[in-house]
Amino acid sequence: MSDYKKVKSAYVMDAKSGQTLYENHSNKELPIASLSKMMTLYLTTQAIKHHRLNWNDKVPVDHQLIKMSKSYSLGSFKIKHSNQYTVKQLYQAALIASSNSAAIALGKAVTHGDNAKFIAMMNNQAKAWGIDANFVSSSGLDNTDLKHYGYQLDGTSKKAQNLVSAKAISITAQHLIKAFPQISQWSNKASYKLGSQTLVNANSMLKPGFYYRASNHLTGLKTGYTETAGLCLTVTYWRNGRELIATIIGSQSTFSAMNGLITHLDKTVRSKPVTESSKAYAIKGHKVTVNPAEKQTRVWYRIGQDPKKITVTNQLITNRLPVKKGQPVTKTSFNHTGLPGETTQTGTAAKTVTKPTAKKQNHANWFSQLFAGIGRTFSQIF
């Protein structure tokens, strides 16, 4: 049996459309170790985008996190009392070297020092996206480790850990790279100089790693490991001008399994361009023009399927007014591909369409009552 079939869970998706190319127990919630940091990095990115944080802001790192960073098993990036670290530096340390202390410090920076509040943000974001996830830490560490540093979340058990499905963490990665496309400038580094230290990336699929393949066109993204989670990996790579996201959870040979999975898809899946145009829909008697997510999307299909039979359909996901410009109005599906048809792609309103005002409604009601009365009068006469 191939290595990629021996994993606990796996999932591959198109980063733009969200189309599923491969799944294996992809909705099962499992420990994901440091893949959890992608949610922390996403929320940090959002805080920066909304000017609640700045890349150059100095971030306080408490004594317990400094102590954690010096643990051989919990951190490869050593945080020093005498140094001050910026949001950017801690972001790089959490992403490239998978620093647990840096990830926790970033979460606290987003919420002005409140670790529990940040974890609540992680869970609320997962709920908003409708994904299978339950977070108890911003780093991916289990409570068995966190309790020694005072970072066990109140109300959680001694052995509690982040439980997230492969599909859910892939969707998190999708949102992360959409919010911060430049992340690949760091995630594709096997090592990176930060001050007097060198951040070392555990991803051996990056050049010059043992499992590196130039043909993969890999750009990152995140590794993870704990004793209970096993080896975990999410990567981003390019095929046919499209960025793909692949996740493997619970493997004994993650890098070889991921190479095997990528090779399997290269042999079994193809893609074709499909042109989409704006369409008009009627909502509450009003015309709503909906723009597609992409004027030319790319649909993946299993070899053996007739690409000429592939269709793209859009279904209304709202029947209420008002509809605001840019609001998702339709959900896209790809049909006859031999793959799951569900996508994360939506069509959005071209412009705002509001409800008729109460005054106009009353005016219309007055006319309808008038004509109804006239009708009754004539029926009585004749």
Answer yes or no: do 170 and 205 share one domain.
Answer: yes
Answer yes or no: do 153 and 280 share one domain.
Answer: no
The pLDDT tens digits of the residues spanning 278-335 come to 999 999 999 999 999 999 999 999 999 999 999 999 999 999 999 999 999 999 999 9
Answer yes or no: do 49 and 125 share one domain.
Answer: yes
pLDDT at 257: 97
For residue 360, pLDDT over 50 is answered with: no
For residue 363, pLDDT over 60 is answered with: no
Q: Which amino acid is it at 103?
A: A
Provide the 10 A C-beta neighbour count for residue 263.
Answer: 15
Distances (CA, A) of 320 to 154, 222, 291, 328, 332: 41, 40, 18, 12, 19
The pLDDT tens digits of the residues spanning 145-157 come to 999 999 999 999 9
Query: Which bin fits 98, alpha (ψ -120 to 50), beta or left (φ > 0)?
Result: left
pLDDT at 255: 97
For residue 13, pLDDT over 70 is answered with: yes
CATH of the domain at 29: 3.40.710.10
Answer yes or no: do 117 and 135 share one domain.
Answer: yes
Distances (CA, A) of 285 to 207, 269, 289, 320, 354: 57, 42, 13, 11, 11
> Both ends of the chain: CA-CA distance in Å?
87
C-beta separation of 63 from 142 below 8 A? no
pLDDT at 128: 97
Q: With bands split at pLDDT 50, 70 and 90, how would you rate the model's confidence at 367?
A: low
Give the angle 183-186-189 at the CA atoms, nearest 5°: 140
Answer yes or no: do 283 and 247 share one domain.
Answer: no
| Among 309, 239, 316, CA closest to 274 | 309
The reply to whether 241 falls in a domain is yes
Domain interval for residue 326: 276-349
For residue 382, pLDDT over 50 is answered with: no
pLDDT above 70 covers a percentage of the chain that reads 93
Burial readout 140-156 (b: 16 or more C-beta within 10 A, e: otherwise): bbbbebbeebebbbeeb
Residue 196 burial (10 A CB sphere; 0-12, 13-18, 19+)? exposed
pLDDT at 369: 61
3-state secondary structure of 278: coil
pLDDT at 106: 98
C-beta separation of 79 from 94 below 8 A? no
**Total number of domains in the chain:** 2
Q: With bands split at pLDDT 50, 70 and 90, how would you rate the model's confidence at 372?
A: low
Answer yes or no: do 77 and 183 share one domain.
Answer: yes
The pLDDT tens digits of the residues spanning 50-87 come to 999 999 999 999 999 999 999 988 988 999 987 889 99
CATH of the domain at 335: 2.60.410
C-beta separation of 115 from 108 below 8 A? yes
pLDDT at 8: 97
Answer yes or no: do 189 and 290 share one domain.
Answer: no
The reply to whether 299 falls in a domain is yes
The reply to whether 16 falls in a domain is yes
Q: What is the pTM of this model?
A: 0.91
